[in-house]
């Protein structure tokens, strides 16, 4: 007896036909996970990993339970990619082996030259995504290779690995472990498959049990990835230049693993004599290289052990997904998990009940298998009741005697599920092979004439049921012998469910977690199992340095003020343009730009003398020699006349809509692209036409002439009080005329908002500045351009309100460090924002109790700071330029300081965090480090998307439209009639099912079923009366009555005049009726055959709105095309950030 077992008694039971009691390893794992500590999301993810079976190769279909943001954030957590690092890998050169992101092959020249010792596979890079390569954490990965028993056979082939790959009698074993750090740094927030790979190998340790001569190995490591199932080497980065600069080191003085492809050479040189007996150090950079006897490890130093791929290295998209490689589970695994959870909580249910609960929760269509009706008839015709919607009614109509046995069959189904190991099929062949099932004995069904016909079928058991997986209604006849027994292999098995069918019987990880969290029975049961009296885990405080940008909404007020005031003034100066001498004839200020509006307005502006005083009505005039002389002499009476102009103002001239994509350069959305967009968003268009002047003074009276007037238009930045050195435009000179007519054609000028323009330093002008720019070094020109671009995209200024959270006790006092609020690794981002508000309140209370000249100011800074749901919590992500400098250890120069400053001020260097996720669910940002991680909090706006591309991608992923709200120009959500058909084509019944409906011919729609039944066509065509559209105004349905066309075209004009849609409906119907009466009286109505002439159908509000919506979309599309054409035409125009800017 072992552990209370009695083998003799067990054998006696087995001989009597009893089943041996066993439990699977998966069931043990499920039970352990259910009873363990951890959050509900962590348990759900771990349970899924047990039964996940294959990789999802195509787009996941729809599920009746929408995937929640919390479930999506749990699956995005990189906790599963490292699970495979200690699991036995596949054999090399197999299909499974080529389905991995990276393969590390360990080789040695001992015992044979170029011996392949083993391999390490990394399935996905999603769990290794990070942005600080110097912070990558090392991990230990097992090396799997052939066992010692394969050595003898290897001596025949000369290659140790060839024997094991061709002979599976030698399973792979763990021969050692490799310690290394891996990090994948994507090149952009939306393109994860392109980036830079960093690998830092620290050492390899062989296990003596499998590699006895471990001290002779002197291994090297080869690295490759896979593209389309084929090996592909990883190109190695070489940032060096011939001569050293601030951005790169010199090839003459810097040595290491650069260029070629990633390959980790041997730590020592092999000796000439003996195999593995003698090794020598390399001549260059060999410190800390070689075999360390104390740890029995072959180690690499940082020079040769740290290697990076090129910055534009590309891997397959599936290799950078955050989810695990096995991310699909069959419904059978779901049923096992659900049954275990329910039984462990003492919810005693039958097997069938547990299966029905599991299918109703996790099946994507909510379809559960079940028996609807069962009758027993004395005939054996297999086609007698095929395709009938009701068996009992059909038998009654045919006059066939029958017995209703629905309850008896349902009870038998319950019994057979327990015998079948959880499978739902009824009368399975495997079960019947063990013994026949007797209706009188097992199901308590009495056969009308028992014994008639012997073993031949004499009666038929008809079963109407719903098939699990897709909800298909089916009918199946089961032949019953004269003895009342069901025989195997005669078509008796009733297929109650689909097995291993994509997508009907599969769920993805997102769907599994979302369904489990949203169901109270499973979620609460799973939560209670791990809530016993256990020791609480120690909370880990997180060190953070948080800057709250614009805490008191001053920047938002400034943005609103910019809309009301362009902060640019337009001055019109009239000069007597004599050769060699110019006399000032007067000036006039254009009204404030914000008062002009988009329509042209006419103005008559009286001319005045220049006023240089700071208290002048429009501010001081532009200083010039002649105008200043008149002002200093006080001779303002000489200024007479007025000027006639027309002007309009549109601000902003460019508006970016919510879903509009930014037009970018070929290299992607760079900071230059975003700077150009910000310039457009802060630019208005001034249209100015100068007509004429009247009553100008005679400046040339001494010459016997009137004057030769010319108008110059100047612009002044009211924020910086700075005039442009060149005029905006000039008119022609009209000779000898005191009332000239200029006929200056209207011209449009792009004028940047004064507040935005004041961010930039004034551009130097003149010939000296041009010569200076001509001889400017490329590095200086690049830095100047980068600074201008950084100023263009900067938001909320450069300062903010700083709050520091201590990871450990910090003895240094200061502003933002006195609140004593801690943030923990398990806190969600939503909880962090609440703690941030609390920290500001406590910080303000601290400074109110302090004495000193600065205490009141500090208290005011931290008072009334509220962080709400509109605020974004973001973490700093190093720019590619900064990462390049860090990788080369160039962190102490001026170039690094400038790059770091630019990255901090670039909004796209800040990654938004999901409020539903915790800090622990962001391992790529290393919140568990001792030093403080930098964070920034801003209030999210629509305009902020054009500045921060990471927020733009984040908002797009968080605001996914549910399939129930689908309404696009191609399709919309709706309901369509689905026909349940038998194999012979007979229709059992009709059912309304959800579908995506698209445009078809004039009498039908194209229908895509959301939950497509197995074997059905992916897309079908149905008549319009068989389809119900969910939206009132489907965008794809552009069909209108031809008689409505001319009237609907007037709807836009009526709406712009202030009419409501209901008023428009009444007006258009009245116009339609009047036209119909006119045509009827004139006899011009077209008659279709002998049918009676009827009025056209009424125009409804829905018709009007649908027509206007389509018209607006077409107009917007045409406008975008026109804008793109103009951009191509004016591609060479001057911009704010160019060399010839108009500062």
Distance CA 900, CA 135 (A): 17
- H or E stretch at 358: helix 351-362
Distance CA 934, CA 936 (A): 7
> Higher model confidence: residue 1140 or residue 731?
731
Would you state the pLDDT for residue 166? 44
Would you state the pLDDT for residue 251? 86
Helix or strand or coil: residue 626?
A: helix
40-51 and 520-529 helices cross at what angle (nearest 10)?
100
Cβ contacts of residue 533 below 8 Å, gap of 6+? none
Q: What is the mean pLDDT of residues 590-619?
A: 88
Q: What is the mean pLDDT of residues 741-759?
A: 82
- Bridge partners (DSSP) of residue 227 are 230
Q: Is the peptide bond before 425 cis (omega within 30 degrees of 0)?
A: no
Q: What is the mean pLDDT of residues 71-93?
A: 59
- Tell me: pLDDT of 1037 over 70: yes
- Residue pLDDT, tens place only, 157-206: 555 444 444 445 667 888 999 999 999 988 877 778 899 999 999 999 99
Beta-strand runs (E) in 10-114: 52-54, 102-108
Would you state the pLDDT for residue 668? 45
- Residue pLDDT, tens place only, 273-332: 655 567 888 888 888 999 999 889 999 999 999 999 998 899 998 888 655 456 788 898
- Residue pLDDT, tens place only, 333-357: 999 999 989 988 888 888 899 999 9
Distance CA 126, CA 324 (A): 8
Would you state the pLDDT for residue 917? 85
> Higher model confidence: residue 964 or residue 799?
964
Average model confidence (pLDDT) for the chain? 81
CB atoms inside a 10 Å sphere around CB 147:
15
Would you state the pLDDT for residue 375? 94
Distance CA 81, CA 128 (A): 8
Average the pLDDT over each of 192-206, 558-572, 1061-1075 and give the range with the smallest value: 558-572
Asked whether the beta carbons of 182 and 136 are under 8 A apart, the reply is: yes
Burial of 384 per CB tally in 10 Å (0-12, 13-18, 19+): middle
Closest CA to 477 of 426, 542, 530: 426
Average the pLDDT over each of 21-25, 787-791, 1071-1075 and give the range with the smallest value: 787-791
Distance CA 423, CA 505 (A): 13
Would you state the pLDDT for residue 597? 83
Distance CA 1066, CA 1047 (A): 11
* C-alpha radius of gyration, the chain, whole number: 40
876 pLDDT tier (thresholds 50, 70, 90): very high
């Amino acid at each position: 007896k072992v552990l209370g077992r009695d083998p003799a008694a067990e054998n006696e039971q087995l001989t009597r036909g009893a089943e041996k009691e066993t439990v699977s390893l998966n069931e043990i794992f499920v039970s352990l996970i259910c009873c363990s500590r951890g959050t509900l999301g962590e348990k759900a993810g771990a349970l899924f990993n047990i039964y996940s079976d294959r990789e999802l190769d195509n787009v996941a279909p729809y599920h009746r339970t929408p995937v929640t943001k919390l479930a999506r954030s749990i699956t995005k957590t990189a906790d599963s990619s490292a699970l495979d690092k200690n699991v036995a890998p596949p054999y090399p050169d197999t299909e499974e082996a080529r389905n991995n992101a990276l393969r590390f092959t360990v080789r040695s020249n001992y015992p044979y030259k170029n011996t392949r010792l083993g391999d390490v596979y990394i399935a996905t890079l999603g769990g290794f995504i990070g942005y600080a390569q110097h912070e990558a954490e090392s991990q230990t990965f097992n090396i799997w290779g052939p066992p010692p028993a394969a050595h003898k056979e290897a001596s025949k082939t000369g290659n140790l690995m060839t024997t094991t790959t061709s002979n599976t009698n030698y399973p792979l074993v763990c021969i050692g472990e490799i310690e290394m750090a891996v990090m994948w740094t994507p090149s952009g927030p939306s393109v994860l498959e392109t980036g830079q790979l960093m690998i830092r190998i620290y050492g390899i340790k062989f296990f003596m049990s499998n590699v006895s001569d471990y001290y002779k190995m002197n291994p090297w490591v080869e690295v490759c990835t896979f593209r389309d199932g084929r090996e592909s080497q990883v190109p190695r980065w070489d940032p060096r230049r011939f001569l050293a600069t601030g951005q790169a080191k010199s090839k003459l003085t810097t040595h290491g693993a650069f260029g070629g492809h990633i390959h980790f050479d041997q730590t020592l040189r092999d000796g000439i004599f003996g195999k593995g007996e003698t090794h020598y150090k390399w001549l260059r950079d060999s410190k800390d290289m070689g075999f360390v006897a104390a740890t029995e490890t072959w180690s690499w130093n940082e020079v040769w052990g740290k290697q990076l791929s090129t910055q534009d290295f590309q891997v397959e998209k599936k290799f950078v997904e955050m989810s695990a490689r096995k991310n699909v589970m069959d419904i059978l695994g779901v049923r096992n998990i659900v049954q275990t959870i329910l039984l462990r909580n003492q919810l005693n249910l039958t097997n069938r009940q547990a299966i029905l609960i599991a299918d109703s929760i996790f099946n994507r269509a909510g379809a559960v298998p079940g028996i609807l009706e069962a009758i027993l008839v004395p005939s054996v015709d297999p086609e007698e009741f095929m395709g009938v919607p009701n068996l009992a009614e059909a038998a009654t109509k045919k006059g066939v005697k029958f017995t209703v046995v629905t309850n008896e069959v349902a009870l038998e189904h319950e019994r057979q599920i327990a015998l079948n190991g959880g499978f739902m099929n009824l009368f399975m062949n495997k079960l019947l092979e063990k013994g026949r099932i007797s209706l009188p004995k097992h199901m308590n069904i009495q056969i009308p004439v028992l014994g008639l016909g012997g073993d031949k079928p004499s009666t038929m058991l008809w079963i109407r049921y719903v098939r699990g997986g897709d909800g298909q209604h089916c009918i199946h006849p089961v032949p019953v012998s004269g003895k009342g027994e069901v025989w195997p292999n005669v078509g008796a098995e009733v297929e109650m469910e689909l097995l291993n069918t994509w997508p009907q019987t599969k769920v993805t990880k997102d769907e599994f977690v979302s369904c489990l969290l949203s169901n109270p029975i499973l979620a609460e049961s799973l939560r209670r199992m791990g809530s016993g009296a256990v020791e609480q885990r120690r909370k880990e405080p997180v060190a953070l340095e948080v800057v709250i940008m614009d805490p008191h909404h001053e920047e938002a007020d400034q943005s609103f003020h910019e809309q009301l005031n362009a902060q640019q003034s337009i001055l019109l100066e009239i000069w007597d343009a004599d050769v060699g001498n110019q006399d000032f004839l007067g000036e006039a200020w254009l009204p404030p730009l914000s008062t002009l509006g988009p329509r042209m307005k006419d103005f008559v502006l009286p001319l005045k003398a220049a006023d240089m005083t700071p208290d002048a009505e429009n501010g001081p005039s532009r200083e010039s020699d002649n105008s200043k002389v008149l002002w200093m002499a006080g001779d303002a009476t000489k200024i007479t006349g007025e000027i006639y102009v027309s002007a309009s103002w549109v601000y902003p001239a460019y508006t970016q809509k919510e879903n509009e994509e930014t037009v970018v350069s070929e290299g992607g959305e760079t900071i230059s692209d975003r700077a150009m967009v910000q310039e457009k968003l802060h630019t208005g268009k001034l249209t100015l036409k100068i007509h004429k002047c009247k009553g100008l003074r005679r400046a040339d009276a001494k010459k016997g002439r009137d004057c030769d007037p010319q108008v110059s238009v100047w612009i002044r930045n009211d924020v910086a009080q700075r005039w442009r050195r060149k005029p905006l435009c000039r008119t022609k000179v009209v000779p000898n005329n005191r009332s000239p007519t200029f006929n200056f054609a209207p011209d449009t000028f792009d004028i940047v908002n004064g507040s935005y323009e004041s961010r930039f330093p004034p551009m130097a002008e003149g010939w000296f500045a041009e010569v200076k720019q001509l001889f400017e070094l490329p590095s200086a020109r690049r830095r100047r351009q980068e600074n201008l671009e950084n100023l263009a995209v900067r938001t909320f200024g450069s300062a903010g309100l700083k709050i520091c959270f201590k990871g450990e006790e910090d003895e240094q006092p200061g502003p933002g460090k006195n609140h004593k609020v801690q943030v923990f690794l398990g806190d969600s981002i939503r909880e962090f924002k609440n703690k941030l508000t609390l920290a500001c309140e406590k910080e303000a209370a601290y400074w109110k109790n302090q004495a000193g000249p600065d205490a009141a100011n500090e208290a005011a800074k931290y008072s009334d700071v509220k962080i709400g749901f509109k605020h974004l919590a973001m973490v700093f992500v190093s720019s590619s330029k900064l990462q390049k400098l860090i990788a080369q250890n160039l962190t102490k120069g001026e170039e690094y300081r400038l790059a770091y400053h630019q990255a901090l001020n670039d909004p796209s260097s800040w990654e938004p965090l999901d409020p539903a996720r915790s800090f622990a669910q962001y391992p790529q940002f290393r919140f568990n480090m001792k030093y403080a991680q930098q964070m920034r909090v801003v209030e999210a706006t629509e305009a902020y998307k054009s500045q921060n591309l990471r927020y733009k991608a984040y908002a797009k992923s968080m605001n996914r439209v549910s399939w129930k709200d689908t309404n696009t120009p191609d399709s919309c959500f709706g309901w369509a009639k689905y026909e349940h058909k038998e194999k012979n084509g007979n229709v059992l019944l009709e059912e309304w099912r959800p579908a995506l409906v698209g445009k078809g011919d004039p009498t039908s729609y194209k229908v895509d079923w959301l939950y497509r039944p197995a074997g059905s066509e992916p897309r079908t065509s149905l008549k319009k009366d068989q389809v119900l559209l969910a939206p009132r105004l489907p965008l794809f349905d552009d069909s209108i009555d031809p008689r409505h066309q001319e009237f609907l075209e007037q709807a836009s004009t009526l709406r712009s005049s202030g009419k409501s849609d209901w008023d428009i409906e009444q007006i258009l119907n009245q116009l339609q009726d009047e036209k119909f009466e006119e045509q009827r009286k004139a006899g011009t109505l077209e008659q279709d055959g002998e049918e009676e002439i009827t009025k056209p159908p009424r125009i409804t509000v829905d018709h009007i709105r649908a027509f206007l919506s389509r018209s607006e979309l077409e107009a917007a599309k045409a406008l975008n095309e026109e804008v793109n054409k103009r951009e191509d035409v004016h591609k060479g125009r001057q911009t704010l950030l160019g060399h010839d800017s108009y500062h």
